[in-house]
Amino acid sequence: MEIKEILTLTRREALTKYVKELDEAYFELSGRHFCRSCVSDITTMFNELKREYMNSTDFKLIREKATYRVRKGVMISNDKMTDELALEWLKDCPERIKFFYSFPADWKERIGLVPEEVKEIEVVAMEDVSEEIMEEEFRANLGELKMQELKELYPDISVEFGQKKADFIDKIIETNK
């Protein structure tokens, strides 16, 4: 059975029947074996394998850790990127293609743009994009979210009691630099 198929099973079933295959795939991906008795190690292994085998996409954002809002409650980032999400985000505003350094050649057709309706969109090289502009865009996207959504998206960043949303966004941006 292929890894992609194994990852669609429940964790218990996958670990019971295919632990050897999972361990080999994880070792090939990360260079280490996972601890079979550590819940956190098993979770990390599953997440990394799913990211590698299940989320194959032709779209990659310029900023590695950037997160953008697709619609209420749905965010797009390189970690959670799918073709469907990227195309949905681009369909709303095709000029957003400038935020991607990798994308399929037929992206315009895939979002339903007819060639005569398509205006040329300048794709900017990463070094030509001002870090300040990228940070402002990132800050604006984060600002649209509720504090609870921010906490869920960035569980590794500590929140102090009574902390203002703007201060938490500053911490997020500082961490993503």
**15-44 pLDDT per residue, tens:** 999 999 999 999 998 999 999 989 889 988
Kindly report the length of the chain.
177
Domains of the chain, residue spans: 3-53, 57-125, 130-177
pTM of the model: 0.43
**Calpha distance 94→121 (Å, rounded):** 8
Nearest CA to 99 out of 140, 51, 133 is that of 133
Asked whether the beta carbons of 27 and 33 are under 8 A apart, the reply is: yes
CA 117 from centre of chain: 30
Asked whether the beta carbons of 61 and 77 are under 8 A apart, the reply is: yes
Q: Report residues of the chain scoring pLDDT below 70.
A: 55-56, 114-134, 177
16's tokens: 């019971």
| pLDDT score of 118 | 47
**Calpha distance 97→14 (Å, rounded):** 38
| pLDDT score of 34 | 92
Q: Tell me, what amino acid is at 74? A: V
